[in-house]
Structure formats: structure tokens, C-alpha cells
């Protein structure tokens, strides 16, 4: 079988180690492993990179430990507005949702939109209606709420009143999940899902559903999913910038991705990170924050996951 790989991120700006118990860190790593295995099993059976990244992100959307789906951030009105996108590197087809409120797994709605191939991006109530019409699972918005996000919103509102928002940790402010994969035919795919940042303005849309900003895939070049302050990712078309450095400048994936994070985005004073794969399926996960949940399974089936500077070996894929 040709090289297959899947990688993920769970958001730049992991909380300081002492703010979560070791049991909570372990559960987050376990959920990342489960997400990677969900995608890996598809790849191992000869399935597509597109199927693999969707399956991977669904697991992360269902976990309360990440800012997507169940566990998503709350906006300034204390409500959820979810964004997601998925892209096929073989065909350049893409589907994206922005500001949806009732879709249990927004990434699956983005995938259905991709398959229709006539609309790339739907927003708000139209996105929810589309998903319902496709027979996808719909939930009451309260399903997405967790105690941690309620506390984060209260903390940021208090900081806003005190004028200390700049002192908030990256973990308090935002987070995103994403996956990239290479299948046995050499096809690449990328998927991203997020609740945005805590206390965001109502109606705000970040980079995750913007193709080329937070999500991008191109066969023979790269697959990229970003995480961080989306406004800057949009302005700098960050995900596509990685691909452009490879396609036009001949850079290898590590140099391209690290260059975008540290040379393009960091000067804007934002926390940022990404998971990216090159054409051969070699994963890289640069970030400029205290930590970033990230992991991958190599072609040989070795599983790695980490949250800060550590990367923990988590055995072999079955």
C-alpha cells in the first residue's frame, strides 16, 4: 500500500498544565487518539482522504475537550455560532458552513455541501436548514454548552470590563480542531471545525470556513488546517500561503508551514498554529503559543499526540 497518513490539531493555545488535572489531559489525548484511529481505519481499508478527515473531525466535535461542536465557545450573547469547512485536494471541491447553531456535527454538513458541488459556503439559518434537509442530526443549542466555556465567557467579560483582555491566555480565548490526510492514491484532504473565540461579536465569522484562509488542500502540494485568531489568517490567506510557498517557491512542507506561522502570522501578535501534510504525507504542526493539541499516525501506524512541547508515543494503530 502507498503511504497513508492522518494528522490533527485541537487548537493552538492549550491551557497551562496546572489548569487541568492529569486525568483531563489524558482524556484529551485519548480523544485525539480515537479521532486519529477513526480516520486511519478508513485509510487503511483503502478509503479516501476526504472520508478520513471527516471521520476524524467528527470525533473531535463530539469531545467536550475541544472548541468545536460539543464544547464550542460562546459569543458575546452567550450563544453558539459554529463554523466548519472541508476540501478535497484532488478536485478542489469544498463545502463550508458559517454561523450555524443546531447541527450536531457541522463538518458533516460541510461534506454534504461539497458533494452537491454548486455552493461552497452557507451561513446561519440557511446552513441549519440545509443540514436538516439532508437528514443530519440536529440538536438544541444547549447541547454544545459546557461549564468550561461558560466560565471562559464570564472570565473574558470581566477582563473586558477591567481592560485586561490582552492578559488572557490563548486557551481562554479561542481554539479550533482540524485534520489533514493522504490516502493510498496520493489524494490530500483537509477539514476544520470551530466555535470561534470566546466572547466573539455576534455574527462574527473566522477563517475556518474560508477556503484558503483556515482550510486548504491541493494534491501534490499540501493539505492545511489552521488555528488561531482567524482575522489575520483571512487577511494573509494563511493556508493557501503554505501551498504557494511549495508550489511556486519549491519549499518543503516543514519550511513552508513554519515560515507562515513564525514569519507571516507571528508579527501580527497573534497565537497561531496549524497541522499540515506535504505531498508525501509528512506531517508538521508548527505553533507559536504555550501549547497546541496535535497528533498524527505515520505510514507505519505509529501514533503520536501532544499538547505542549511533549509528543507522547501512543502505540501502533491496529
Question: Domain spans of the chain?
Answer: 5-316
Of the chain, the percentage scoring pLDDT greater than 70 comes to 94
Beta strands 121-123 and 94-100: pairing type? parallel
Of the chain, the percentage scoring pLDDT greater than 90 comes to 78
C-alpha cell at 267: 508579527
Tell me which residues are annotated as active site: 176
pLDDT tens by residue, 229-247: 999 999 999 999 999 999 9
How far is C-alpha 253 from the geometric centre of its chain's CA atoms? 18
- What Rg do the C-alpha atoms of the chain give, in angstroms? 18
Model pLDDT, residue 173: 61
Please name the CATH architecture into which domain 5-316 falls.
4-Layer Sandwich (3.60)
- Averaged pLDDT for residues 105-113: 98
Q: Give the relative orientation of helices 49-62 and 22-44 as an angle to the nearest 10 degrees.
A: 160
- Averaged pLDDT for residues 66-71: 96
Mean pLDDT of the chain: 93
Model pLDDT, residue 168: 67
pLDDT at 62 exceeding the cut of 80: yes
pLDDT tens by residue, 245-290: 999 999 999 999 999 999 999 999 999 999 999 999 999 999 999 8
| Phi, psi torsion values for 289, nearest 5 degrees | -105, 180
pLDDT tens by residue, 159-200: 878 777 666 666 566 679 999 999 999 999 999 999 999 999
265: Cβ–Cβ under 8 A, 6 or more apart, which residues? Answer: 228, 232, 233, 236, 238, 272, 288
pLDDT at 35 exceeding the cut of 80: yes
Q: Measure CA of the first residue to CA of the last residue in the chain; give whole Å.
A: 16
pLDDT at 95 exceeding the cut of 80: yes
CA nearest neighbour of 231 among 179, 271, 191, 177: 271
Amino acid at each position: 500500500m502507498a503511504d497513508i497518513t492522518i494528522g490533527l490539531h485541537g487548537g493552538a493555545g492549550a491551557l497551562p498544565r496546572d489548569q487541568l488535572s492529569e486525568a483531563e489531559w489524558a482524556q484529551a489525548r485519548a480523544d485525539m487518539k480515537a479521532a486519529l484511529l477513526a480516520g486511519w481505519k478508513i485509510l487503511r481499508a483503502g478509503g479516501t482522504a476526504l472520508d478520513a478527515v471527516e471521520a476524524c473531525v467528527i470525533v473531535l466535535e463530539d469531545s467536550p475537550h475541544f472548541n468545536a461542536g460539543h464544547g464550542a465557545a460562546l459569543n458575546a450573547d452567550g450563544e453558539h455560532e459554529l463554523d466548519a469547512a472541508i476540501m478535497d485536494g484532488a478536485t478542489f471541491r469544498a463545502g463550508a458552513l458559517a454561523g450555524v447553531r443546531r447541527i450536531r456535527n457541522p463538518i458533516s454538513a460541510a461534506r454534504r455541501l461539497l458533494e452537491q458541488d454548486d455552493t461552497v459556503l452557507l451561513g446561519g439559518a440557511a446552513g441549519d436548514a440545509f443540514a436538516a434537509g439532508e437528514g443530519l442530526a440536529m440538536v438544541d443549542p444547549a447541547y454544545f454548552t459546557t461549564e468550561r466555556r461558560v466560565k471562559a465567557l464570564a472570565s473574558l467579560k470581566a477582563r473586558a470590563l477591567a481592560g485586561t483582555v490582552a492578559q488572557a491566555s490563548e486557551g481562554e480565548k479561542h481554539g479550533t480542531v482540524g485534520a489533514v490526510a493522504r490516502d493510498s492514491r496520493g489524494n490530500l484532504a483537509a477539514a476544520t471545525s470551530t466555535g470561534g473565540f470566546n466572547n466573539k461579536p455576534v455574527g462574527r465569522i473566522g477563517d475556518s470556513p474560508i477556503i484558503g484562509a483556515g482550510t486548504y488542500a491541493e494534491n501534490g502540494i499540501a493539505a492545511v488546517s489552521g488555528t488561531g485568531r482567524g482575522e489575520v489568517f483571512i487577511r494573509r490567506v494563511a493556508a493557501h500561503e503554505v501551498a504557494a510557498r511549495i508550489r511556486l517557491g519549491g519549499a518543503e512542507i516543514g519550511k513552508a508551514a513554519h515560515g507562515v506561522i513564525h514569519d507571516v502570522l507571528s508579527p501580527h501578535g497573534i497565537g497561531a498554529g496549524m497541522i499540515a501534510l506535504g505531498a508525501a504525507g509528512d506531517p508538521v504542526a508548527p505553533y507559536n503559543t504555550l501549547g497546541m493539541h496535535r497528533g498524527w499516525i505515520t505510514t507505519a501506524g505509529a501514533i503520536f499526540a501532544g499538547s505542549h512541547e511533549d509528543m507522547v508515543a501512543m502505540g501502533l494503530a491496529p
